[in-house]
């Protein structure tokens, strides 16, 4: 759950197979605009979104030869895609 830490919100985090997927709290608002997530509260949306996708993402990243570690998740609502990034570089783009 994202909580206040020194005046800023902590990202939602879910770990799978050595990959730590982090969804910034600001990105949850983008998810809530999509029909699948309308009407759900922030923690529920973030937790459900990460939990049901992390295993597949971890497999895809591993198959692509990307080492385990931190992965930032950004939401592109117009294309209905999740962009997986590390150090600002796009690793993988996945359908939502």
Q: Is 14 exposed, middle or buried (0-12, 13-18, 19+ CB in 10 A)?
A: buried
Return the H-helix or E-strand segment holding 62.
helix 54-63
> So what's the pLDDT on residue 39?
83
62 and 55 Cβ atoms separated by less than 8 Å: no
User: How does pLDDT run across 73-87, given as a tens digit for each residue?
Assistant: 999 988 999 999 999
Residue 7 predicted with pLDDT over 80? no
Global confidence as pTM: 0.88
pLDDT in tens, 24-70: 999 998 998 888 888 888 888 999 999 999 999 999 999 999 999 99
| CA dist 8 → 20, 39, 65, 70 (Å) | 20, 25, 33, 19
pLDDT score of 76: 93
Place of tokens 């030869």: 65
Please give the residue that has the higher pLDDT: either 73 or 7.
Answer: 73
Residue 82 CB coordination number (10 Å): 23
Q: Quote the pLDDT of residue 1.
A: 47
């Amino acid at each position: 759950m994202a909580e206040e830490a020194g005046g800023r919100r902590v990202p939602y985090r879910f770990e799978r197979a050595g990959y730590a997927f982090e969804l910034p709290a600001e990105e949850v608002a983008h998810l809530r605009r999509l029909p699948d997530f309308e009407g759900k509260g922030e923690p529920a949306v973030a937790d459900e979104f990460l939990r049901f996708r992390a295993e597949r993402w971890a497999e895809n990243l591993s198959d692509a030869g990307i080492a385990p570690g931190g992965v930032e998740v950004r939401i592109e609502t117009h294309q209905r895609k999740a962009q997986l990034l590390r150090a600002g570089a796009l690793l993988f783009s996945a359908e939502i």
